[in-house]
Amino acid sequence: MRVLILNGPNLNLLELREPDLYGGRSFDQYLMELETFFEGRVNISYYQSNSEGGLIDYLHNNMDRFDGVVINAAAYTHTSIAISDAVRLLSVPVIEVHISNIYKREEYRHHSFLSPVVEGVICGFGLDSYRLAIEALFNRV
């Protein structure tokens, strides 16, 4: 199973983002653990961009290369109709994840334009949200 993890703005500097919420680890460190965990079962690709258009371009250009997508659109979750339109174009299952529990944070983080167009949502488990999402994809694909 080929899975794309697509990360949105500021997740490239995860280690700087409020350590209480995010744990102070870089995403690259976590990615290596994840690859080890799923070794032999899942082929994980990773793309991060701070640009709304960049995320859409990547989805368009790599559509046929994956069996499932795990997306953490970060701040764009709450403001981007364009990314949710791009997700609708995909024919493979897409899962929305959040590292922190967005319902414990500012009210403007409670609404997601992605949720109505994805399979399911996993939120609040720290970086483990990504692992759970890949587990979920297994059951779907």
Q: How many residues of this chain bind its own copies (CB under 8 A)? A: 55
| 112 sits near its own copies (criterion: CB under 8 A) | yes
| 25 sits near its own copies (criterion: CB under 8 A) | no
Kindly give the residue spans of alpha helices, DSSP state H, lying in 1-141: 19-22, 27-37, 52-62, 76-79, 81-89, 128-140
Question: Which of 10, 62, 66, 70: binder of its own copies (CB under 8 A)?
Answer: 10
47 or 108, CB closer to its own copies? 108
Chain contacts with its own copies (rule: CB under 8 A) = 8-10, 12-13, 16-18, 49-54, 56-57, 60, 74-76, 78-82, 84-86, 88-89, 101, 103-104, 108-109, 112-113, 115-116, 118-125, 128-129, 131-132, 135-136, 139-140
